[in-house]
Amino acid sequence: MENIVSVSIKTAPGAQTASAESWYRASAINSLPVTTVRENVQCRVCVVGGGFAGLATAVGLQERGFNDVLVVEAGEVGHGASGRNGGFIFGGYSLSPQALVKQQGEARAREMYQLTTAAVGLIEQRVKAYAIDCQHRAAGVMLADWFNRPDLLQQKQRFMQQKLATSWEFYPRSELRRQLDSERYYDGLLEREAAHFNPLQYAQGLAAKLQRGGVEVWQNSPVTEIKAKGNKWQLAVAGVHVETEIVVLACGGYQKILRAPPRSAILPIATYIMVTEALPESLPELISQPWAVYDTRFAFDYYRPLPGQRLLWGGRISIRDPQPQIIEAMLRRDLARVFPQLTEVKADYVWSGLMGYSRQQMPMIGQSKPGLWHLTGFGGHGVAPTTAVGELLAAAISEGDQRYRWFDHYALKPVFGHLGLLAAQLNYWQYALRDWWRDPQK
Ligand SMILES: Cc1cc2nc3c(=O)[nH]c(=O)nc-3n(C[C@H](O)[C@H](O)[C@H](O)COP(=O)(O)OP(=O)(O)OC[C@H]3O[C@@H](n4cnc5c(N)ncnc54)[C@H](O)[C@@H]3O)c2cc1C
């Protein structure tokens, strides 16, 4: 690609974007070269969105020797959900495994599920192969039972094994209590192959790998318009035009300014995270395994230990964006309910992020017009699935692989804007109420 000038910037903590408030952003040293666009350019593939979906597609293409690719990101790489999530890397999709089997049948559901467990491994491989410093820990993810229903937990374990060929380990309550010092939980299921990491550093590491291999990543470069030009596409980006044969729209829940097909099929729903101040010496006593943990409620908490004796704690969803003080108060209440020992612990960082939900809670991949691809709708469970489905898209573009059609069932369907958001919020409250009703410790 020609006529591009590269400069290096550092991201200043406290910069204006909302993500600057996250612990990830505040502790990151962004040495990713930022490319400033000067003139019109041409490329084979233009990926719009520098989140995991866009980056996984671009890296997948590059790994297949396909380098005439440009990635264009409205903010900084990882500005969206990918650079501010909980960092859980585990199998599955936002849609429950039971619903996946029901919709797809056992054989296809198993293949689709295994795409995501393979992606857990692929992420680790890429971390190692590209020397990405992102605190990757292959420590496992624990699903802790909130409801004292060992029968349901064992049923889930059997289901996962028999239908989806995964082996989750059962932890009786006494054993779990030795690892997590909380009265809240009963038994647990450990997904041992799962992992956690610093997602922003991973996103930046992928972008750096792309740039080293000759794929440009333009940051602070919003795409404002896409139109057909002959049998190609023309994108308006920060005052210049990009002409390309193939467009990949991977904008998640952040596709605000661009009127292009996936937008009306995505509900942007907020969820929250805080990172505590450094805890006194007690963290290893409270959580003695370096697992990432979530629980069996619909409206679950999720947390994991961070370097520096901090705890990352997340939960809740909302269609509103409340003040950080309100989020902090909610999350600290949730934390104290599980670990009353930490009632006085404060949050140093509090932030929110937008998940892009489709109506079917499954990723949507396909072409709305020839050459105009979309890859979106990963919801609240997207780290491994973006990698998995990004691989399918890279294989489709470079090799004509048709496996992406496994997702044909999940076409772009309208979500009806504010009405859809309201319905999602009511649905969440209804399930949260059901969680409360079933809580044996209420
Ligand atoms: C707080 C939070 C916690 C989560 N925790 C987990 C977790 O622990 N594990 C898990 O598996 N999943 C988790 N998720 C979900 C996961 O992060 C997402 O599913 C996934 O990151 C989606 O990736 P994406 O690339 O589709 O979207 P995004 O990461 O949102 O990326 C989209 C990008 O497109 C860019 N963009 C938008 N419009 C334009 C435009 N016009 N021009 C150029 N660029 C544009 C945006 O700036 C953005 O960077 C969480 C999500 C949130 C919000």
Q: Which residue, by CA, sits nearest to atom 15 of ligand 1? A: 380
> What is the 345 CA–ligand 1 centroid distance (Å)?
29
Q: What confidence tens digit (pLDDT) does each residue in 221-260 have?
A: 999 999 999 999 999 998 899 999 999 999 999 988 788 7
> What is the 282 CA–ligand 1 centroid distance (Å)?
33
- Phi-psi bin for 400: left (phi > 0), alpha (psi -120 to 50), beta? left
Total length of the chain? 442
Q: What confidence tens digit (pLDDT) does each residue in 108-160 have?
A: 999 999 999 999 999 999 999 999 999 999 999 999 999 999 999 999 999 99
DSSP letter at 287? B
Instruction: Say yes or no to pLDDT of 267 above 50.
Output: yes
More confident residue, 413 or 282: 413
Taking the CA of residue 83 as reference, the ligand 1 atom at the shortest distance is 29
Choosing from 274, 321, 383, 391 the residue with most ligand 1 atoms within 8 A of its CB, the one to mutate for a pocket test is 383
> What is the 275 CA–ligand 1 centroid distance (Å)?
19
Q: Which residue, by CA, sits nearest to atom 21 of ligand 1? A: 82
**Domain covering 18-85+199-264+359-420: architecture:** 3-Layer(bba) Sandwich (3.50)
Instruction: Say yes or no to pLDDT of 20 above 80.
Output: no
Instruction: Say yes or no to pLDDT of 4 above 80.
Output: no
Neighbours of 23 (CB within 10 A): 23
Average pLDDT across the chain, whole number? 91
pLDDT of residue 341: 92
SS3 410: coil
Measure the CA–CA gap between 201 and 132, rounded to whole angstroms: 7
Interhelix angle 106-129/97-104, rounded to 10 degrees, is 130
Instruction: Say yes or no to pLDDT of 18 above 70.
Output: no
pLDDT of residue 27: 87
Q: What confidence tens digit (pLDDT) does each residue in 167-203 have?
A: 999 999 999 999 999 999 999 999 999 999 999 999 9
Q: Give residue limits of the domains in the chain.
A: 18-85+199-264+359-420
Taking the CA of residue 380 as reference, the ligand 1 atom at the shortest distance is 15
Q: Which residue, by CA, sits nearest to atom 18 of ligand 1? A: 382
Are the CB atoms for 385 and 355 separated by under 8 Å?
no
> What is the 83 CA–ligand 1 centroid distance (Å)?
7
Choosing from 79, 136, 225, 251 the residue with most ligand 1 atoms within 8 A of its CB, the one to mutate for a pocket test is 251
Choosing from 32, 274, 378, 389 the residue with most ligand 1 atoms within 8 A of its CB, the one to mutate for a pocket test is 378
SS3 61: helix
> What is the 54 CA–ligand 1 centroid distance (Å)?
10
| Residues with C-beta less than 6 Å from any ligand 1 atom | 48-54, 72-75, 79-82, 84-88, 222-223, 250-255, 257-258, 271, 273, 314, 353-356, 376, 378-383, 386
Measure the CA–CA gap between 423 and 390, rounded to whole angstroms: 30
Taking the CA of residue 273 as reference, the ligand 1 atom at the shortest distance is 1
Taking the CA of residue 222 as reference, the ligand 1 atom at the shortest distance is 42
CA atoms within 13 A on the CB side of 138: 10
Q: What b/e sequence results for 39-52 when a residue is b if at least 16 CB atoms lie within 10 Å of its CB, and e otherwise?
A: eebebebbbbbbbb
Q: What confidence tens digit (pLDDT) does each residue in 319-360 have?
A: 877 888 889 999 999 999 999 999 999 999 999 999 999 999
> What is the 430 CA–ligand 1 centroid distance (Å)?
26
Instruction: Say yes or no to pLDDT of 281 above 80.
Output: no
Q: What b/e sequence results for 372-398 when a residue is b if at least 16 CB atoms lie within 10 Å of its CB, and e otherwise?
A: bbbbbbbbbbbbbbbbbbbbbbbbbbb
pLDDT of residue 82: 98
